């Protein structure tokens, strides 16, 4: 009875951030028990932020590579141990709010381990979404966490450090590819297809509204260009590019093979290529898209149309030519 009661009480931040490793380890175990308790009450946002500040400094105190790697995985996997997706997203939201708030205070000697922690959480987030078969409500909740104020991809929040946006863009498709990877020869079961339009929507919103040319270029080279390349018809010529893409299309082959558009059956690559370009065009056409970004998105859309896209979207192309 006493242990059940203890599991419903969150570990205090001072124990999570203790200088004593045994105390921290015990606090993390208590945290896992608390979060996985289906009978615990909802944690208010301000209390979640307090809890996450303790977790942040628990990770801060970890000082050996193997310890850091194990703790990063343990913390990220808490997302999958929490009962119910709403509570999982509350925990994930606390993670991102804390990372954004504390990022500028991370010194260069600790930066790499926080990069690793973010990578682990991105991967666990995709596994969480896949557990719920990429349902629209869960994917939208994830998108909202990334793009609302306090999220790492909010285009209107000046507090979000550019380096955090860049890192998230750099690893996003890599981690999605890992989650969607499978080997039929080894008897693996094919995972459910990921709704690509919903998952990249936060980055398209950033492309539309960011005032930073550097942020625009980074998202293009890390997200949009590799996706379009991976879905392009065989033998198609790639548009000229001054900068090397951060990912090559064949490095995200599982994303290309096992993605769809939300609410639609799994399409072939050509259909997905067309649908993704339509999404780019739609974002470029939105009223709150910055004019300079609109022109660049239209240029990208136009340069990547193939023959089938051209005949299907001739009206839109004429509209862009006239603008």
Angle subtended at Cα 168 by Cα 34 and Cα 36, rounded to the nearest 5 degrees: 10
Confidence band (pLDDT; 50, 70, 90) for 8?
low
Position 1 confidence tier, pLDDT thresholds 50, 70, 90: very low
Asked whether residue 239 carries a pLDDT value surpassing 60, the answer given is no
Rounded to an integer, what distance in angstroms lies between the CA atom of residue 249 and that of residue 255?
Answer: 9
Rounded CA-CA distance 305/321 in Å is 14
The CA-atom distances, in angstroms, between 303 and each of 55, 208, 225, 251 are 46, 18, 11, 22
Q: What is the pLDDT of residue 232?
A: 83
Q: Do 160 and 147 meet the contact criterion of CB atoms below 8 Å apart?
A: no
pLDDT exceeds 60 at position 50: yes
Mean pLDDT across the stretch 101-107?
Answer: 95
Please, what is the average pLDDT of the chain? 87
3-state secondary structure the chain: CHHHHHHCCCCCHHHHCCCCHHHHHHHHHHHHHHHHCCCCCCCCHHHHHHHHHHHHHHHHHCCCHHHHHHHHHHHHHHHHHCCCHHHHHHHHHHHHHHHHHHHHHCCHHHHHHHHHHHHHHHHHHHHHHHHCCCCHHHHHHHHHHHHCCCCCCCCCCCCCCHHHHHHHHHHHHHHHHHHHCCCHHHCCCCCCCEEHHHHHHHHHHHHHHCCCHHHHHHHHHHHHHHHHHHHCCCCCCCCCCCCCCCCCHHHHHHHHHCEECCCCCCCCHHHHHHHHHHHHHHHHHCCCCCHHHHHHHHHHHHHCCCHHHHHHCHHHHHHHHHC
- Asked if 290 and 309 touch (Cβ cutoff 8 Å), the reply is no
Radius of gyration of the chain (CA): 21
**What pLDDT is stored for residue 3 in this prediction?**
47
216 confidence band (pLDDT: 50, 70, 90): very high
How sure is the predictor about 320, in pLDDT bands with cuts at 50, 70 and 90?
A: low
The pLDDT score that the predictor gives to residue 245 is 54
Q: Which residues pair with 260 in a beta bridge?
A: 195
10 Å Cβ neighbour count for 236?
Answer: 13
User: Long-range contacts of range 19-26, CB-CB < 8 Å, 24 or more positions apart?
Assistant: 19/61, 21/61, 21/67, 24/58, 24/61, 24/62
Q: Which residues pair with 100 in a beta bridge?
A: none
In this structure, of 7-21, 117-131, 164-178, the range with the lowest mean pLDDT score is 7-21
Please determine, for residue 240, whether its predicted confidence score (pLDDT) is greater than 50. no
108-131 and 45-61 helices, crossing angle to 10°: 130
**Of 39-48, 92-101, 189-198, 307-316, where does mean pLDDT reach its minimum?**
307-316
Among candidates 45, 177, 29, which has minimal Cα distance to 98? Answer: 45
Q: Count the neighbouring beta carbons within 10 Å of the beta carbon of residue 131.
A: 14
117 or 249, higher pLDDT? 117
Residue 84, Ramachandran bin (φ over 0: left; ψ between -120 and 50: alpha; else beta): left
Model-level pTM? Answer: 0.89
Tokens of 197: 């339009």
How far apart (Å, rounded) are the C-alpha atoms in residues 20 and 25?
A: 9
**Which range (30-39, 203-212, 243-252) has the least confidence?**
243-252
pLDDT at 297: 98
Taking the C-alpha atoms of residue 157 and residue 73, their distance in angstroms, rounded to an integer, is: 29
pLDDT (average), residues 109-122 = 97
Tell me, what's the pLDDT at 244?
A: 47
Q: How confident is the model at residue 6 (pLDDT cuts 50, 70, 90)?
A: very low
pLDDT digit string, tens, across residues 151-196: 999 998 888 999 999 999 999 999 999 999 988 777 788 899 999 9
> Residue 5's pLDDT band (boundaries 50, 70, 90)?
very low
């Amino acid at each position: 009875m006493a242990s059940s009661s203890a599991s419903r009480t969150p570990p205090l931040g001072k124990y999570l951030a203790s200088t004593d490793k045994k105390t921290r380890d015990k606090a993390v175990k208590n945290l896992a028990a608390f979060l996985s308790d289906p009978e615990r009450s909802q944690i208010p946002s301000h209390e979640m932020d307090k809890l996450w500040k303790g977790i942040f400094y628990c990770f801060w105190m970890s000082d050996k590579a193997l310890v850091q790697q194990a703790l990063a995985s343990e913390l990220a996997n808490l997302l999958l141990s929490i009962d119910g997706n709403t509570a999982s997203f509350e925990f994930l939201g606390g993670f991102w709010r804390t990372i954004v708030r504390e990022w500028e205070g991370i010194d260069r000697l600790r930066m790499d381990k926080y990069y690793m922690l973010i990578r682990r959480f991105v991967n666990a987030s995709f596994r969480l979404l896949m557990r719920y078969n990429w349902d629209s409500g869960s994917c939208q909740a994830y998108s909202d966490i990334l793009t609302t104020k306090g999220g790492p991809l909010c285009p209107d929040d000046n507090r979000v450090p550019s380096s955090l946006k860049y890192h998230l863009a750099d690893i996003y498709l890599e981690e999605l590819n890992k989650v969607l990877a499978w080997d039929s020869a080894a008897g693996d079961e094919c995972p459910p297809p990921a709704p690509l339009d919903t998952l990249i929507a936060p980055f398209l919103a950033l492309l539309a509204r960011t005032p930073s040319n550097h942020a625009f270029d980074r998202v293009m080279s890390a997200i949009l260009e590799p996706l379009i390349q991976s879905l392009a018809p065989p033998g198609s010529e790639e548009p000229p590019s001054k900068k090397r893409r951060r990912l090559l299309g064949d490095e995200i082959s599982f994303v290309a093979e096992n993605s769809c558009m939300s609410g639609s059956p799994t399409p072939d690559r050509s259909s997905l290529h067309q649908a993704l370009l339509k999404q780019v065009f739609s974002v470029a056409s939105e009223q709150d898209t910055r004019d300079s970004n609109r022109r660049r998105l239209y240029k990208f859309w136009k340069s990547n149309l193939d023959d089938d896209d051209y005949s299907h979207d001739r009206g839109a192309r004429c509209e862009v030519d006239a603008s």
